[in-house]
Every structure is written in structure tokens, then in C-alpha cells.
Amino acid sequence: MDDVLGGPTGTSGAEYRLGLYPSDRAEYDRAPGQTGDRGYRFLLPLHGEMLMVQDGREARLRPGTGGLIAPAAPFRVLQPRPARVLVMTIPAREMDGRLCGPVPAATGLDLSAGLGRVVADMVRAVGEERRSLTGPQFDAACDRITELLCLLLAGDERPPAPGHLAEVEAVVRRYVREHATDPGLTGAAMAQDLGWSLRQVQLALQRAGTTPRELIREERLRLVRDRLRNPLDRNVTITDLAHATGFSSASALSHAFRQRFGVSPRELRRHGAAR
């Protein structure tokens, strides 16, 4: 199992590896103190089943379930009948950083529904397309899988690491700048589109003293202010400007604008024209 990856049935990028483990039958033991490499292994059965023993617990891995092997952790795998398993190797720092420390071994992960099924579908898709992906593309896809796998393991309750939150904040701010004019832009919609949980987005922005709603409103108001100062937009009505920047009405825009800048949109436009 430790050397199944990277052969003719496997592929790898600079960071991750993914391989197909086909076998008629097998028995594998990693004894305590046997280091192996520094990566986690995520096991996704495609056909058949295998018995996985870790920390004195047994779990039968079959399609619809999965298991995670921690770096250097002792384990035993028994496979009495033919089986095919996708094995994804994940750098330890990628999981430890997201979950604020080493991740314990996990067996019997439910991959039949919800987020677990999304993770399983993505691993299978990357496995099917692995020969069509460049190294950076392969690593990027595996990085997103790792993000979702961490959410699955943590039950979305364990806080991400500060460094990861800073990365989330930067991506969220860029996303809001690019989509501020979308009237349907919300924290939940943004999180779903980016592949993170709403809680992660909220935590990342909380560190910066704001919320998804406040960030969206601030970006829209700045956009309105810039357009009010632009001579090319002097004939655009406040109502049209409101609808073009994601506000529900001119009155909603005017109220938010006065709260933020101390003047109404019309007053700012008049002052700019006078200057």
C-alpha cells in the first residue's frame, strides 16, 4: 500500500499523488515505529471490500465508505477477495494546517451522501482525468478535495488555521470585487461558489473586523461613489445606478450611501459637478 502510488496506474503532481490499487487479495501491516512517508492516505473503495484496523478499531471499507491513514500510524489492511481502491496521498502540512494540528486516523467515513459523496465524486473524477491534467492542474484539484475532506472530518466545527483564514479572506475580497454588481450575491452564495463553508468565510472576515454582508455593501458603495464622480456616468439616473450595482432600489442605495459617506448620491454628484 505504501508504494502503490506513482507506478503505471498512478499519477502525481508536485504535492499530491493518486493511484489505483487493484488486487485479488492482500494483507498489509504497518507496525508501530515504521515511518513510511509523511503523507496522509485517503482510501476510496471502487469495488469489493477490505477490512481496515486502526487504533484497535475495525471498519469494513466498501463503495460508499472511506478511510484515512495518518502518517506513520500503525494499521492493518485485510483484503480476502478482489478489490479496487483509489488511494490519494495528501501532504501532512495540507491537512494539519487546515485543521490546526495532526489529524487522527479515521475509518468508515460515509461517502454515500452529502459532502462525503461530493468528495468521493471529485476523487473519482480526478482519477479518470488524471492523464489529461497537467501537474499544477492535478495539484489544484487535489487541494480542493483536501479542503472538502477536512470539512468532512471536522464536521465543519473545528476552526481553520489563522494562515488559512488569511488566504480565505484574500480570495473572498477578490471575489466580492469581481461580483459586487450581482444582485444575488450573498455570503452563502459566495461560499458555495468558492467551495468553502459559510462559517469559514465568516471566520476569515471576522478577523478583519467585517462580515460578508458588510463587505458586499462596502464594495458596492465604493463602486457607486466612483461612478458618481465619473463624468461619463453623469447622465445615469440614481435608480439605474442602484440596479446596476446590486441594490434593490434607489431609496435603498441612498439610505446606505448616506450612512456610509454622510451625503446622498445626488449631493455627491452635485458637488462633483460644481467642482
Do 117 and 192 share a structural domain?
no
Q: What CATH number corresponds to the domain at position 267?
A: 1.10.10.60
More confident residue, 67 or 221: 221
Instruction: State the DSSP string of 20-76.
Output: EEEESSEEEEE-TT----SEEEEEEEEES-EEEEETTEEEEE-TTEEEEE-TT--EE
The mean pLDDT value for 132-144 works out to 87
Question: In total, how many domains does the chain have?
Answer: 2
Do 167 and 85 share a structural domain?
no
Confidence band of 26 (pLDDT split at 50, 70, 90): low
Distance CA 90, CA 14 (A): 11
More confident residue, 6 or 20: 20
| Residue 27 pLDDT exceeds 90 | no
For residue 195, is it left (φ>0), alpha (ψ between -120 and 50) or beta? left
Cβ neighbours, 10 Å, residue 85: 25
Do 188 and 270 share a structural domain?
yes
Q: Name the domain boundary from 120, 154, 188.
A: 154
pLDDT at 259: 92
Do 119 and 32 share a structural domain?
yes
By percentage, how much of the chain surpasses pLDDT 90? 28
Asked whether residue 2 is domain-assigned, the answer is no
pLDDT tens per residue across span 185-216: 999 888 888 877 788 888 888 888 899 999 99
Q: What CATH number corresponds to the domain at position 19?
A: 2.60.120.280
pLDDT at 161: 54
Q: pTM of the predicted model, to two decimals?
A: 0.53
Do 141 and 30 share a structural domain?
yes
Do 15 and 111 share a structural domain?
yes
Q: In terms of residue numbers, what domain contains 62?
A: 10-154
Do 186 and 235 share a structural domain?
yes
pLDDT at 38: 65
Do 273 and 252 share a structural domain?
yes
More confident residue, 169 or 12: 169
| Residue 158 pLDDT exceeds 90 | no
pLDDT at 96: 79
Among candidate residues 71, 202, 195, 204, the one with its CA nearest the CA of residue 140: 195
Asked whether residue 173 is domain-assigned, the answer is yes
